[in-house]
């Protein structure tokens, strides 16, 4: 029997959380102000954590809190109160890498499920079974495990031990997450969420007697990006993931925007629902795949799932970006009139791409724009400006409005 997999979305702040919930996440993972491996994100203070739990549960979604750093001795004194408070807030699970934290969670937050982070490097059924016997309800597998090995693991672990796997987003060159390059080069500890991402930097050779002369490691006009991993995208392979026994499809991106969260969550929501409805007759609708090209990303690949190396993008370190978010619909006044908040420049007469809360995109034409003083304007050049827009198609409240880059 095939079990419907969970769509698990990232949230680095409250705006991202709302995007994840609005676009169909079954569960959201986020961090408090301590013990979470994304210090670049705003994350959630104690008050926000409680609010996040309430919002998620009101939508019928679960909330998981990352406690996946590898804490030092001087941090452990803060752990009991943090875990206890998270339990009071109603969090559904902790995502944990460290065995000391794992035991502390059992003691100070016994009502909260414990998931094993990808940072723990689980690569086989023996380890998964040991962790299950210790009290883990889920293992987040190391990213280098191919699908056939996941299926083998599923067959050799208890049925109620869930398997979570990453399906989309950035991939670390140190695939099980124990990278020390940032610590060596900048003093910023990746295992405490402070990675400077030196794997994305451009590298050249320098010969000490030829001061000022730099030589690319490979012959590219823009240098060589030695460790720059491609981005993972498994949107075309939902059936294979489900059949292998994956319980939760995890989208990477707690340091990314609310727009990224909305688009990725929406795409995987529709792909999962489509497969669960149609089974063996399932065919991915083209618009779902196209949506994932409307966010900033590096070249996509399928990671290690099919037994190949994902490879590196050595010619550049930048993102592919085909669309800009130009506005957000705050309120639909009637079938042609919408109150919007501008995000990037666009013009009267432009054809715009709308992602509504239903998740199925459509195009509209900007017929006219009026500023907050009632003046007609030809363009929207000021970020966060409030405008009234007339269009040829109704735009629902909460829609994200985009424009294709020329």
pLDDT at 251: 98
How do beta strands 113-116 and 93-96 pair?
Answer: parallel
What are 314-367's pLDDT values in tens digits? 666 678 899 999 999 999 999 999 999 999 999 999 999 999 988 999 999 999
What are 93-151's pLDDT values in tens digits? 999 999 999 999 999 999 999 999 998 999 999 999 999 999 999 999 998 899 999 99
Q: Does residue 209 have a pLDDT over 80?
A: no
Q: Does residue 218 have a pLDDT over 60?
A: no
Distance CA 302, CA 213 (A): 38
Pair 161, 138: CB distance under 8 Å: yes
Pick the range with the lowest mean pLDDT from 86-90, 100-104, 163-167, 186-190: 186-190
For 286, half-sphere exposure in the C-beta direction (CA atoms, 13 angstrom radius) is 0
**Nearest-5° Cα angle at 12, 255 to 168:** 55
DSSP characters over 218-275: S--TT-B-TT-BPEEE-GGGHHHHHHHT--EEEEP-TTS-HHHHHHHHHHHHHHHHHH
pLDDT at 337: 97
What are 239-297's pLDDT values in tens digits? 999 999 999 999 999 989 999 999 999 999 999 999 999 999 999 999 999 999 999 99
Structure tokens at 182: 């940032």
| Average pLDDT of the chain, as a whole number | 90
Does the predicted model carry a pTM greater than 0.85?
A: yes
pLDDT category of residue 193 using cuts at 50, 70 and 90: low
pLDDT category of residue 36 using cuts at 50, 70 and 90: low
Structure tokens at 118: 């990808």
What are 173-182's pLDDT values in tens digits? 765 556 667 7
pLDDT at 183: 72
Instruction: Check residue 335 and report its DSSP letter.
Output: S
pLDDT category of residue 219 using cuts at 50, 70 and 90: very low
**Helix pair 46-58, 14-22: axis angle to 10 deg:** 10
Pair 137, 160: CB distance under 8 Å: yes
Pick the range with the lowest mean pLDDT from 221-230, 302-311, 331-340, 380-389: 221-230
Q: Which residues contact 348 (CB under 8 A, 6 or more apart)?
A: 366, 367, 368, 369, 377, 378, 379
The stretch 73-81 carries a mean pLDDT of 92
Query: What residue ranges of the chain are covered by domains with CATH 2.40.30.10?
Result: 323-404
> Which one of 3.40.50.300, 2.40.30.30, 3.30.10.20, 2.40.30.10 gives the CATH number of domain 323-404?
2.40.30.10
- Could you tell me which residues are beta bridge partners of residue 356? none
For 383, half-sphere exposure in the C-beta direction (CA atoms, 13 angstrom radius) is 3
Q: Which residues contact 343 (CB under 8 A, 6 or more apart)?
A: 324, 325, 326, 327, 328, 383, 384
Instruction: Check residue 403 and report its DSSP letter.
Output: E
Query: What residue ranges of the chain are covered by domains with CATH 3.20.20.70?
Result: 6-174+232-300
Q: Which of 344, 362, 347 is nearest to 399 (CA)?
A: 362
Superfamily of domain 6-174+232-300: Aldolase class I (3.20.20.70)
What are 38-52's pLDDT values in tens digits? 555 578 999 999 999
């Amino acid at each position: 029997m095939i079990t419907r997999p969970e769509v698990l979305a990232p949230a680095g702040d409250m705006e991202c959380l709302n995007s994840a919930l609005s676009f169909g996440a079954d569960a959201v993972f986020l961090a408090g102000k301590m013990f979470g491996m994304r210090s670049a994100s705003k994350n959630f203070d104690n008050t926000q954590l409680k609010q996040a739990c309430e919002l998620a549960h009101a939508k019928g979604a679960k909330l998981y809190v990352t406690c996946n750093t590898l804490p030092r001795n001087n941090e452990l004194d803060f752990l009991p109160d943090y875990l206890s408070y998270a339990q009071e807030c109603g969090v559904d699970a902790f995502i944990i890498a460290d065995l000391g934290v794992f035991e502390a969670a059992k003691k100070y937050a016994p009502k909260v499920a414990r998931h094993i982070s990808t940072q723990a490097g689980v690569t086989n059924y023996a380890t998964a079974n040991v962790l299950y016997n210790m009290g883990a309800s889920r293992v987040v597998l190391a990213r280098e495990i191919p699908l056939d090995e996941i299926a083998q693991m599923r067959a050799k672990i208890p049925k109620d031990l869930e398997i979570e796997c990453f399906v989309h987003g950035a991939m670390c060159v140190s695939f099980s997450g124990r990278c020390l390059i940032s610590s060596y080069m900048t003093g910023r500890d990746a295992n405490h969420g402070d990675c400077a991402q030196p794997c994305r930097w451009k590298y050249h050779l320098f010969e000490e007697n030829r001061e000022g002369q730099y030589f690319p490691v490979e012959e590219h006009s823009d240098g060589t990006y030695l460790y720059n991993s491609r981005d993972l995208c498994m949107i075309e392979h939902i059936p294979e993931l489900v059949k292998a026994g994956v319980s939760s499809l995890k989208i990477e991106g707690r340091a990314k925007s609310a727009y990224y969260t909305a688009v990725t969550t929406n795409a995987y929501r529709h792909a999962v629902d489509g497969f669960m409805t149609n089974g063996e007759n399932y065919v991915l609708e083209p618009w779902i795949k196209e949506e994932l090209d409307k966010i900033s990303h590096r070249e996509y690949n399928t990671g290690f799932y099919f037994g190949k190396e994902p490879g590196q993008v050595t010619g550049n370190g930048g993102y592919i970006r085909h669309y800009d978010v130009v506005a957000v619909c705050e309120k639909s006044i009637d079938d042609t009139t919408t109150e919007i908040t501008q995000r990037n420049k666009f013009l009267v007469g432009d054809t715009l791409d709308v992602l509504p809360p239903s998740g199925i995109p459509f195009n509209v034409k900007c017929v006219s724009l009026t500023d907050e003083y009632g003046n007609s304007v030809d363009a929207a050049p000021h970020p966060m400006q409030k405008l009234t827009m007339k269009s040829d198609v109704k735009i629902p409240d909460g829609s994200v409005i985009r424009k294709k880059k020329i």
